[in-house]
C-alpha cells in the first residue's frame, strides 16, 4: 500500500480491509491498467492516448499515467503544460499533448522537454515558434478544428489561415505538424445526428490540410464514448479519459462492466462519533433534516472541502454497517451526518461513499444520478486533503 506522498507504483500491494485514519481514496492501479487494455482492444489499429489531466481525473497524475502506460497507452493527454512538465519530471517519456494554453504560457519549458502543443489560432503558432527559436528545438504541433462542439478549435472559416501559418512555421524549421484533431459534442449519446456531421467535418478538415501539404503523424477525434461505441471515429489515435478510470461515458447503456471496465476509485471514511438523539432532533446547519423517532446519529469526517458536494444534503448515498443509507442533513465543510436508526455503528467503523459496487456500496454513477450531475465531476472533485492509497502490481 502506498501513501499519497509516494508516486512509485512498483510491486506495491494494499489491504483493502484496513480502514484509513480519517478518510482516503483507494485507487486500484490494476483496474486502470486493465481498463486501458480494454480500450486498446476496442481501438484496434488506432493507438491510445490516455487522458490524465486534472490529476488523473482525481486518481493521481503520476500513478494513473504509469498504470495507463502499463496497460498499453503510448501517448498521454493533459490540459496544461504544467501537467506535462510533471509527467516529464516523473520520468515518463511517452509523447504528451497539452492542449489548453494561454498567451505567455510556459512554451519554452514545454518545447524543451518535448511536450506536444496544440494550436487553435495563429497567435498560438507565433508564440510556439518564438519558443522554438529560443530553445533551438523544433516544436511538435497539433492543429485543432472546431467541427461542431462550439468550444475550442479553429472555426471552419479560420482553418485555412491556421493551416497556412503552421506550414509557414514548419518551412522555417520552427515546428513540425504532428497532429490534426477535434472533439465531439454528443458522442455520449450514440445515434445523435451531430456525430456523423462532426466525423464528416473532421474528414473534410483533414483532407484540406493534407491537400495543402500537411503530413500528420496522427489524426484524432475519439473521446471515451467514441472509443467504445464509434469505431468509424477512431482514425489514427483515440483519446479516452473517463473510461481509463473505469467509469462509463454512456451510462444509459448499462454499467461499466458491459464494456469490461472497472471503476478504480473507492472513497471511504471512518465514523468518528455516534450518539443517541430524541425524535424531532434537527441535524446539521439549518436543520434540513429532523429525526422522526429516537435514533442514533453517526458523524463522518468528510465535507465539501474534501469534494463532497454540498448539494448531497439529504441525498448522498453511502454504505455504512453493510446497509445503504443517505446523508442526513446539510453537508458541511468538513463533515456530514448519517441517521442509522437503532443499528449498531461505532467510532472507527468504515463508511464507503462510492466504489466499484462489489460490496453493495454506491458507485460514482449512483452519486451522479442522485445529484443530477455526471460521474466525472464526482471523482475529479475529491480534494487533496483526502489522501490517495494505491493498490496494485505494475
What pLDDT sits at residue 9? 37
Distance CA 78, CA 70 (A): 18
Q: Which of 53, 245, 376, 390 is catalytic?
A: 53
DSSP state letters, 118-154: EESSHHHHHHHHHHHHHHTSPEEEEEEB-SSSSSSSB
In the prediction, which pLDDT does 19 show? 64
- Residues 72-89 as b or e (16 or more Cβ within 10 Å = b): bbebbbbbbbebbbbbbe
> Which residue out of 168, 285, 304, 390 is catalytically annotated?
285
pLDDT in tens, 274-316: 999 999 999 999 999 999 999 999 999 999 999 999 999 999 9
Q: Report pLDDT for 277.
A: 98
53 is catalytic: yes
Q: Could you give all domains of the chain from N- to C-terminal order, each with its CATH number?
A: 29-245 (3.20.20.10), 265-391 (2.40.37.10)
- Asked if 319 contacts 267 with a C-beta cutoff of 8 angstroms, the reply is no
Cα–Cα distance between 295 and 289 in angstroms, integer?
A: 13
Digit-coded pLDDT (tens) for 98-124: 999 999 999 999 999 999 999 999 999
Per cent of the chain over pLDDT 90 is 94
Question: How many residues are there in the chain?
Answer: 394
Q: Residue 373 gets which letter from DSSP?
A: S
pLDDT for residue 21 = 80
Q: Is 89 an active-site residue?
A: no
What pLDDT sits at residue 2?
38
306, burial (CB in 10 Å: exposed 0-12, middle 13-18, buried 19+): buried
pLDDT band at 340 (very low <50, low <70, confident <90, very high): very high
Answer for the pair 334, 308: CB distance below 8 angstroms, yes or no. no
Mean pLDDT, the chain, rounded, equals 95
pTM, full prediction: 0.93
**CA quadruple 37, 14, 270, 372: dihedral, nearest 10:** 0
Grid cell of 219 as nine digits = 489524426
Amino acid at each position: 500500500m502506498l501513501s499519497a506522498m509516494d508516486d512509485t507504483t512498483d510491486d506495491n500491494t494494499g489491504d483493502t480491509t484496513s480502514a484509513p485514519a480519517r478518510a482516503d481514496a483507494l485507487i486500484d492501479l490494476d483496474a486502470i491498467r486493465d481498463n486501458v487494455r480494454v480500450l486498446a482492444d476496442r481501438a484496434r489499429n488506432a493507438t491510445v492516448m490516455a487522458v490524465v489531466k486534472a490529476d488523473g481525473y482525481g486518481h493521481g497524475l503520476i500513478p494513473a499515467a504509469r498504470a495507463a502506460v502499463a496497460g498499453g497507452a503510448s501517448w498521454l493527454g493533459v490540459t496544461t503544460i504544467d501537467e506535462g512538465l510533471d509527467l516529464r519530471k516523473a520520468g515518463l517519456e511517452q509523447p504528451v499533448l497539452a492542449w489548453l494554453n494561454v498567451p505567455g504560457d510556459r512554451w519554452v519549458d514545454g518545447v524543451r522537454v518535448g511536450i506536444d502543443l496544440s494550436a487553435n489560432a495563429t497567435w498560438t503558432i507565433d508564440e510556439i515558434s518564438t519558443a522554438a527559436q529560443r530553445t533551438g528545438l523544433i516544436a511538435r504541433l497539433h492543429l485543432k478544428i472546431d467541427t461542431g462542439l462550439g468550444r475550442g478549435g479553429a472555426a471552419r472559416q479560420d482553418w485555412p489561415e491556421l493551416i497556412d501559418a503552421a506550414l509557414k512555421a514548419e518551412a522555417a524549421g520552427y515546428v513540425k505538424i504532428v497532429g490534426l484533431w477535434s472533439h465531439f459534442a454528443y458522442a455520449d449519446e450514440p445515434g445523435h445526428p451531430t456525430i456523423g456531421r462532426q466525423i464528416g467535418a473532421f474528414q473534410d478538415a483533414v483532407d484540406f490540410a493534407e491537400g495543402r501539404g500537411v503530413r500528420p503523424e496522427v489524426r484524432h477525434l475519439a473521446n471515451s464514448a467514441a472509443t467504445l461505441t464509434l469505431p468509424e471515429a477512431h482514425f489514427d489515435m483515440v483519446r479516452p479519459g473517463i473510461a481509463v478510470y473505469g467509469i462509463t461515458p454512456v451510462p444509459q447503456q448499462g454499467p461499466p462492466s458491459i464494456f469490461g471496465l472497472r471503476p478504480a476509485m473507492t472513497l471511504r471514511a471512518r465514523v468518528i462519533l455516534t450518539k443517541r438523539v430524541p425524535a424531532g432532533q434537527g441535524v446539521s446547519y439549518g436543520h434540513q433534516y429532523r429525526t422522526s423517532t429516537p435514533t442514533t446519529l453517526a458523524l463522518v469526517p468528510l465535507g465539501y472541502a474534501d469534494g463532497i458536494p454540498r448539494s448531497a444534503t439529504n441525498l448522498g448515498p453511502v454504505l455504512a454497517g453493510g446497509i445503504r443509507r443517505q446523508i442526513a442533513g446539510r453537508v458541511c465543510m468538513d463533515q456530514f451526518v448519517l441517521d442509522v436508526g437503532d443499528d449498531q455503528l461505532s467510532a472507527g467503523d468504515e463508511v464507503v461513499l462510492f466504489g466499484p459496487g462489489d460490496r453493495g456500496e454506491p458507485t460514482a454513477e449512483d452519486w451522479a444520478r442522485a445529484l443530477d450531475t455526471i460521474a466525472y465531476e464526482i471523482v475529479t472533485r475529491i480534494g487533496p486533503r483526502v489522501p490517495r492509497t494505491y493498490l496494485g502490481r505494475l
